[in-house]
Amino acid sequence: MVNLSYHKDVVKAIVSRELWEECQVQKKKNSRSYMRNLTYLFLQKIKCPK
């Protein structure tokens, strides 16, 4: 049997817990999928050489 323990606040946080939670909410909002109404033949096929 493996004993796994969870340690909280072992090191000082770089950002506050509140800021972390706000960022996670914004990240979730930004990651929503967008539906396209049209089909684009060259979508993600052509790349800028520079």
Split at pLDDT 50, 70, 90, the class of 20 is: very high
Mean pLDDT (whole number) for 7-18: 85
Q: Which residue has the tokens 């052509």?
A: 46
| Distance of alpha carbon 26 from alpha carbon 20, whole angstroms | 10
| Distance of alpha carbon 50 from alpha carbon 23, whole angstroms | 33
Task: Specify the pTM.
Answer: 0.45
| Distance of alpha carbon 50 from alpha carbon 40, whole angstroms | 23
